[in-house]
Chains A and B, each alone.
Chain A
Amino acid sequence: MNVFESAFSLKNSKILITGASSGIGREIAIIAAKHGAIIYAVGRNQEKLNLLEEIIGHKNCKTFSIDLTNIDKVKKLIKDIDNIDGLVNCAGLIKMSPYKFITQNSFSETFNINVEAPIFLTTTLLKSRKINNGSSIVFISSINGSCIGAKGFTLYATSKGAISGLVKSLAADLSKLKIRVNEIAPGMIITDGLNSIEESVSTSSIQEDMNKYPLGGYGSPNDVANGCVYLLSSASKWVTGTKLIIDGGFTLK
Protein backbone atom coordinates (compact mmCIF):
# COMPACT_ATOMS: atom_id res chain seq x y z
CA MET A 1 0.00 0.00 0.00
CA ASN A 2 1.46 3.39 -0.99
CA VAL A 3 1.90 5.89 1.81
CA PHE A 4 2.37 9.57 1.10
CA GLU A 5 3.51 12.26 3.50
CA SER A 6 1.26 15.26 3.96
CA ALA A 7 -0.64 16.96 6.75
CA PHE A 8 -3.26 14.31 6.07
CA SER A 9 -0.81 11.48 6.68
CA LEU A 10 -1.69 9.01 9.41
CA LYS A 11 1.66 7.25 9.22
CA ASN A 12 2.20 4.99 12.25
CA SER A 13 -0.90 6.35 13.99
CA LYS A 14 -2.78 3.64 15.80
CA ILE A 15 -6.49 4.07 15.22
CA LEU A 16 -9.35 2.14 16.75
CA ILE A 17 -12.45 2.02 14.55
CA THR A 18 -15.80 0.58 15.61
CA GLY A 19 -18.38 -0.69 13.16
CA ALA A 20 -15.46 -1.70 10.96
CA SER A 21 -16.93 -4.88 9.54
CA SER A 22 -19.16 -3.06 7.07
CA GLY A 23 -20.32 0.23 5.56
CA ILE A 24 -18.79 3.53 6.62
CA GLY A 25 -16.59 2.04 9.37
CA ARG A 26 -15.04 -0.48 6.99
CA GLU A 27 -14.27 2.25 4.46
CA ILE A 28 -12.74 4.49 7.14
CA ALA A 29 -10.46 1.59 8.14
CA ILE A 30 -9.32 1.07 4.54
CA ILE A 31 -8.79 4.76 3.75
CA ALA A 32 -7.03 5.43 7.08
CA ALA A 33 -4.73 2.46 6.40
CA LYS A 34 -3.98 3.88 2.94
CA HIS A 35 -2.87 7.03 4.73
CA GLY A 36 -0.44 4.97 6.80
CA ALA A 37 -2.45 4.15 9.93
CA ILE A 38 -2.29 0.95 11.92
CA ILE A 39 -5.86 -0.16 12.39
CA TYR A 40 -7.62 -1.79 15.32
CA ALA A 41 -10.85 -2.84 13.65
CA VAL A 42 -13.79 -3.62 15.91
CA GLY A 43 -16.96 -5.18 14.56
CA ARG A 44 -19.45 -7.92 15.21
CA ASN A 45 -18.84 -10.08 12.15
CA GLN A 46 -15.51 -11.91 12.32
CA GLU A 47 -15.71 -13.17 8.74
CA LYS A 48 -16.11 -9.65 7.40
CA LEU A 49 -13.34 -8.43 9.70
CA ASN A 50 -11.06 -11.15 8.29
CA LEU A 51 -11.76 -9.85 4.79
CA LEU A 52 -10.87 -6.35 5.93
CA GLU A 53 -7.61 -7.65 7.41
CA GLU A 54 -6.81 -9.27 4.07
CA ILE A 55 -7.33 -5.97 2.26
CA ILE A 56 -5.28 -3.84 4.68
CA GLY A 57 -2.62 -6.46 5.40
CA HIS A 58 -2.02 -8.38 8.63
CA LYS A 59 0.88 -6.16 9.66
CA ASN A 60 -1.24 -3.02 9.87
CA CYS A 61 -4.58 -4.39 10.98
CA LYS A 62 -5.77 -6.20 14.08
CA THR A 63 -9.40 -7.24 14.32
CA PHE A 64 -11.65 -7.70 17.33
CA SER A 65 -15.06 -9.26 17.01
CA ILE A 66 -16.99 -8.04 20.05
CA ASP A 67 -20.36 -6.70 21.10
CA LEU A 68 -19.66 -3.15 22.29
CA THR A 69 -22.75 -3.13 24.50
CA ASN A 70 -20.98 -5.68 26.73
CA ILE A 71 -18.78 -3.61 29.05
CA ASP A 72 -16.69 -6.62 30.15
CA LYS A 73 -15.80 -7.34 26.53
CA VAL A 74 -14.95 -3.66 26.05
CA LYS A 75 -12.61 -3.76 29.05
CA LYS A 76 -10.87 -6.83 27.66
CA LEU A 77 -10.48 -5.17 24.25
CA ILE A 78 -8.86 -2.18 25.91
CA LYS A 79 -6.39 -4.44 27.73
CA ASP A 80 -5.50 -6.14 24.45
CA ILE A 81 -4.51 -3.03 22.51
CA ASP A 82 -1.60 -0.57 22.62
CA ASN A 83 -2.17 3.11 23.24
CA ILE A 84 -4.03 4.72 20.37
CA ASP A 85 -3.73 8.05 18.54
CA GLY A 86 -7.21 8.03 17.07
CA LEU A 87 -10.66 6.64 17.81
CA VAL A 88 -13.57 6.50 15.40
CA ASN A 89 -16.95 5.65 16.91
CA CYS A 90 -18.82 4.47 13.87
CA ALA A 91 -20.83 1.44 15.07
CA GLY A 92 -24.51 2.30 14.99
CA LEU A 93 -28.02 1.25 14.23
CA ILE A 94 -30.30 2.96 11.72
CA LYS A 95 -33.96 2.12 11.95
CA MET A 96 -37.21 3.93 11.22
CA SER A 97 -39.77 3.98 14.01
CA PRO A 98 -42.99 6.01 13.88
CA TYR A 99 -43.28 7.88 17.18
CA LYS A 100 -46.45 6.05 18.20
CA PHE A 101 -44.53 2.77 18.11
CA ILE A 102 -41.56 3.76 20.24
CA THR A 103 -41.34 1.30 23.13
CA GLN A 104 -38.96 1.06 26.06
CA ASN A 105 -37.38 -1.92 24.29
CA SER A 106 -36.82 -0.11 21.00
CA PHE A 107 -35.54 2.92 22.92
CA SER A 108 -33.03 0.77 24.83
CA GLU A 109 -31.91 -1.05 21.69
CA THR A 110 -31.22 2.19 19.81
CA PHE A 111 -29.63 4.02 22.71
CA ASN A 112 -27.51 1.06 23.83
CA ILE A 113 -25.87 0.85 20.41
CA ASN A 114 -25.89 4.48 19.26
CA VAL A 115 -25.16 6.29 22.52
CA GLU A 116 -24.25 4.13 25.50
CA ALA A 117 -21.70 1.91 23.72
CA PRO A 118 -19.65 4.75 22.18
CA ILE A 119 -19.72 6.75 25.44
CA PHE A 120 -18.48 3.86 27.55
CA LEU A 121 -15.87 2.75 25.01
CA THR A 122 -14.50 6.30 24.85
CA THR A 123 -14.57 7.02 28.58
CA THR A 124 -13.14 3.61 29.50
CA LEU A 125 -10.29 4.13 27.02
CA LEU A 126 -9.67 7.56 28.55
CA LYS A 127 -9.78 6.28 32.14
CA SER A 128 -7.31 3.53 31.17
CA ARG A 129 -5.05 6.24 29.68
CA LYS A 130 -5.04 4.37 26.41
CA ILE A 131 -5.65 7.47 24.30
CA ASN A 132 -2.42 9.42 23.78
CA ASN A 133 -2.36 13.15 24.36
CA GLY A 134 -2.83 14.97 21.07
CA SER A 135 -5.09 12.24 19.71
CA SER A 136 -8.27 12.69 17.72
CA ILE A 137 -11.66 11.21 18.56
CA VAL A 138 -14.35 11.16 15.87
CA PHE A 139 -18.01 10.30 16.32
CA ILE A 140 -20.11 9.46 13.28
CA SER A 141 -23.56 10.93 13.86
CA SER A 142 -26.02 12.00 11.17
CA ILE A 143 -27.57 15.18 9.78
CA ASN A 144 -30.77 13.49 10.97
CA GLY A 145 -31.06 14.63 14.58
CA SER A 146 -28.06 16.96 14.60
CA CYS A 147 -29.17 19.30 11.76
CA ILE A 148 -32.57 18.28 10.44
CA GLY A 149 -35.61 16.16 11.23
CA ALA A 150 -37.20 13.53 9.01
CA LYS A 151 -40.51 11.71 9.26
CA GLY A 152 -40.38 8.39 11.09
CA PHE A 153 -36.92 8.88 12.60
CA THR A 154 -37.71 10.30 16.05
CA LEU A 155 -35.83 7.63 17.99
CA TYR A 156 -32.81 7.47 15.68
CA ALA A 157 -32.60 11.28 15.50
CA THR A 158 -32.77 11.55 19.30
CA SER A 159 -29.84 9.17 19.62
CA LYS A 160 -27.77 11.04 17.04
CA GLY A 161 -28.64 14.40 18.62
CA ALA A 162 -27.26 13.02 21.87
CA ILE A 163 -23.93 12.44 20.13
CA SER A 164 -23.78 16.11 19.10
CA GLY A 165 -24.11 17.15 22.74
CA LEU A 166 -21.55 14.61 23.84
CA VAL A 167 -18.98 15.85 21.29
CA LYS A 168 -19.17 19.47 22.39
CA SER A 169 -18.86 18.69 26.08
CA LEU A 170 -16.14 16.05 25.76
CA ALA A 171 -14.15 18.37 23.47
CA ALA A 172 -14.14 20.92 26.30
CA ASP A 173 -13.10 18.29 28.84
CA LEU A 174 -10.21 16.93 26.77
CA SER A 175 -8.78 20.14 25.33
CA LYS A 176 -6.19 20.38 28.11
CA LEU A 177 -4.76 17.05 26.89
CA LYS A 178 -4.89 18.35 23.30
CA ILE A 179 -7.21 15.47 22.53
CA ARG A 180 -9.62 16.70 19.87
CA VAL A 181 -13.21 15.51 19.69
CA ASN A 182 -15.27 16.07 16.54
CA GLU A 183 -18.33 14.75 14.80
CA ILE A 184 -19.12 13.86 11.22
CA ALA A 185 -22.78 14.26 10.31
CA PRO A 186 -23.39 12.47 7.03
CA GLY A 187 -26.50 12.63 4.91
CA MET A 188 -27.87 9.35 3.61
CA ILE A 189 -25.03 7.02 2.65
CA ILE A 190 -25.42 3.88 0.59
CA THR A 191 -24.78 1.00 3.03
CA ASP A 192 -26.56 -2.16 4.19
CA GLY A 193 -28.51 -0.01 6.68
CA LEU A 194 -30.21 1.66 3.75
CA ASN A 195 -31.71 -1.66 2.64
CA SER A 196 -33.71 -1.95 5.87
CA ILE A 197 -35.09 1.56 5.30
CA GLU A 198 -35.95 0.73 1.70
CA GLU A 199 -38.06 -2.18 2.98
CA SER A 200 -39.93 0.11 5.36
CA VAL A 201 -40.66 2.83 2.84
CA SER A 202 -40.50 1.90 -0.85
CA THR A 203 -38.06 1.95 -3.72
CA SER A 204 -39.80 4.94 -5.28
CA SER A 205 -39.68 6.94 -2.01
CA ILE A 206 -35.94 6.30 -1.84
CA GLN A 207 -35.58 7.53 -5.41
CA GLU A 208 -37.62 10.62 -4.56
CA ASP A 209 -35.44 11.27 -1.51
CA MET A 210 -32.25 10.90 -3.55
CA ASN A 211 -33.47 13.69 -5.82
CA LYS A 212 -33.44 16.09 -2.84
CA TYR A 213 -29.63 16.02 -2.70
CA PRO A 214 -28.23 19.03 -4.64
CA LEU A 215 -25.03 17.18 -5.57
CA GLY A 216 -27.09 14.24 -6.79
CA GLY A 217 -28.11 11.02 -5.06
CA TYR A 218 -26.86 9.52 -1.81
CA GLY A 219 -23.25 9.56 -0.68
CA SER A 220 -20.80 6.70 -0.55
CA PRO A 221 -18.87 5.47 2.52
CA ASN A 222 -15.78 6.88 0.81
CA ASP A 223 -17.16 10.44 1.07
CA VAL A 224 -17.34 10.07 4.85
CA ALA A 225 -14.00 8.26 5.12
CA ASN A 226 -12.09 11.10 3.45
CA GLY A 227 -13.59 13.62 5.89
CA CYS A 228 -12.63 11.32 8.73
CA VAL A 229 -9.00 11.21 7.60
CA TYR A 230 -8.95 15.01 7.83
CA LEU A 231 -10.29 14.94 11.40
CA LEU A 232 -7.90 12.16 12.44
CA SER A 233 -4.82 13.78 10.92
CA SER A 234 -2.74 16.78 11.98
CA ALA A 235 -4.38 18.73 9.14
CA SER A 236 -7.17 19.43 11.66
CA LYS A 237 -4.92 19.99 14.69
CA TRP A 238 -6.71 23.27 15.56
CA VAL A 239 -10.20 21.83 15.16
CA THR A 240 -12.22 20.50 18.08
CA GLY A 241 -15.87 20.33 19.13
CA THR A 242 -17.05 20.78 15.55
CA LYS A 243 -19.42 19.02 13.25
CA LEU A 244 -18.31 18.22 9.71
CA ILE A 245 -21.44 17.92 7.57
CA ILE A 246 -21.00 15.61 4.57
CA ASP A 247 -24.37 15.54 2.88
CA GLY A 248 -24.18 16.43 -0.81
CA GLY A 249 -25.70 19.80 0.06
CA PHE A 250 -28.90 18.38 1.58
CA THR A 251 -28.95 20.88 4.47
CA LEU A 252 -28.45 23.88 2.17
CA LYS A 253 -32.20 24.36 2.00
Chain B
Amino acid sequence: MENQFLKNFTDILDDHPNFKLDLDSKFRDLDEWDSLTALSLIAMLDDEYKITVTGDQIKNLETLGDIFKLLK
Protein backbone atom coordinates (compact mmCIF):
# COMPACT_ATOMS: atom_id res chain seq x y z
CA MET B 1 0.00 0.00 0.00
CA GLU B 2 2.87 2.31 0.85
CA ASN B 3 4.57 1.69 -2.50
CA GLN B 4 1.32 2.18 -4.38
CA PHE B 5 0.76 5.46 -2.54
CA LEU B 6 4.27 6.64 -3.44
CA LYS B 7 3.61 5.66 -7.08
CA ASN B 8 0.27 7.50 -7.09
CA PHE B 9 1.96 10.56 -5.64
CA THR B 10 4.76 10.40 -8.23
CA ASP B 11 2.15 10.14 -11.00
CA ILE B 12 0.66 13.54 -10.14
CA LEU B 13 4.03 15.19 -10.76
CA ASP B 14 4.76 16.51 -14.24
CA ASP B 15 8.49 15.91 -14.02
CA HIS B 16 10.74 13.34 -12.34
CA PRO B 17 11.06 14.17 -8.62
CA ASN B 18 14.35 15.94 -7.79
CA PHE B 19 14.99 13.57 -4.89
CA LYS B 20 14.02 10.01 -4.00
CA LEU B 21 10.57 9.93 -2.43
CA ASP B 22 9.74 8.04 0.75
CA LEU B 23 7.35 8.65 3.61
CA ASP B 24 9.82 11.00 5.32
CA SER B 25 10.11 13.23 2.25
CA LYS B 26 8.96 16.80 2.68
CA PHE B 27 6.77 17.21 -0.38
CA ARG B 28 7.06 20.99 -0.42
CA ASP B 29 10.80 20.61 -1.07
CA LEU B 30 10.01 19.23 -4.53
CA ASP B 31 11.17 21.68 -7.21
CA GLU B 32 7.83 21.57 -8.96
CA TRP B 33 5.58 21.81 -5.90
CA ASP B 34 2.99 24.55 -6.42
CA SER B 35 -0.73 25.21 -6.17
CA LEU B 36 -1.46 22.91 -9.12
CA THR B 37 0.45 20.03 -7.51
CA ALA B 38 -1.57 20.57 -4.33
CA LEU B 39 -4.75 20.51 -6.37
CA SER B 40 -3.64 17.34 -8.15
CA LEU B 41 -2.92 15.75 -4.78
CA ILE B 42 -6.48 16.52 -3.65
CA ALA B 43 -7.85 15.06 -6.88
CA MET B 44 -5.65 11.94 -6.56
CA LEU B 45 -6.74 11.30 -2.96
CA ASP B 46 -10.35 11.64 -4.04
CA ASP B 47 -9.95 9.43 -7.13
CA GLU B 48 -7.77 6.67 -5.70
CA TYR B 49 -8.76 6.62 -2.03
CA LYS B 50 -12.19 8.32 -1.92
CA ILE B 51 -10.83 10.75 0.64
CA THR B 52 -11.89 14.40 0.56
CA VAL B 53 -9.32 16.87 1.84
CA THR B 54 -9.22 20.64 1.53
CA GLY B 55 -6.37 22.90 0.48
CA ASP B 56 -6.18 24.22 4.03
CA GLN B 57 -5.73 20.66 5.38
CA ILE B 58 -2.85 20.07 2.97
CA LYS B 59 -1.21 23.27 4.23
CA ASN B 60 -0.89 21.70 7.68
CA LEU B 61 0.91 18.58 6.42
CA GLU B 62 4.67 18.31 6.00
CA THR B 63 5.77 14.87 4.86
CA LEU B 64 4.40 12.22 2.52
CA GLY B 65 3.93 10.12 5.65
CA ASP B 66 1.53 12.78 6.97
CA ILE B 67 -0.56 12.34 3.84
CA PHE B 68 -0.27 8.54 4.03
CA LYS B 69 -1.73 8.63 7.56
CA LEU B 70 -4.91 10.17 6.11
CA LEU B 71 -5.50 6.95 4.16
CA LYS B 72 -5.82 4.81 7.25
Contact = CB atoms under 8 A, between A and B. Distances in A.
Contacts of B44: 101
A101 B35 contact: no
B2 interface: no
Given A101-B40, A101-B43, A152 B55 contact: no
B12 interface: yes
A77 B30 CA distance: 53
Contacts of B54: 199-200, 202
Contacts, number: 43
A204 B42 CA distance: 17
Contacts of A199: 54-55
B6 interface: no
Interface residues of B, number: 17
Contact of B59 (A96, A151, A204): A204
A100 B12 CA distance: 7
Interface in B39-56: 39-40, 42-44, 47, 54-56
A215 B4 CA distance: 47
B12 A202 contact: no
A202 B56 contact: yes
Contacts of A96: 39
B55 A200 contact: yes
The listed residue with most B CB atoms (<10 A of its CB), out of A96, A98, A151, A199, is A98
Interface string A71-115: 000000000000000000000000011101100000000000000
Contact of A202 (B34, B36, B43, B59): B59
Interface of B: 11-12, 34-36, 38-40, 42-44, 47, 54-56, 58-59
Given A151-B35, A151-B36, A152-B39, 19 more contacts: A96-B39, A98-B39, A100-B40, A100-B43, A101-B40, A101-B44, A101-B47, A151-B34, A199-B54, A199-B55, A200-B42, A200-B55, A201-B35, A201-B55, A202-B38, A202-B58, A204-B59, A205-B35, A205-B55
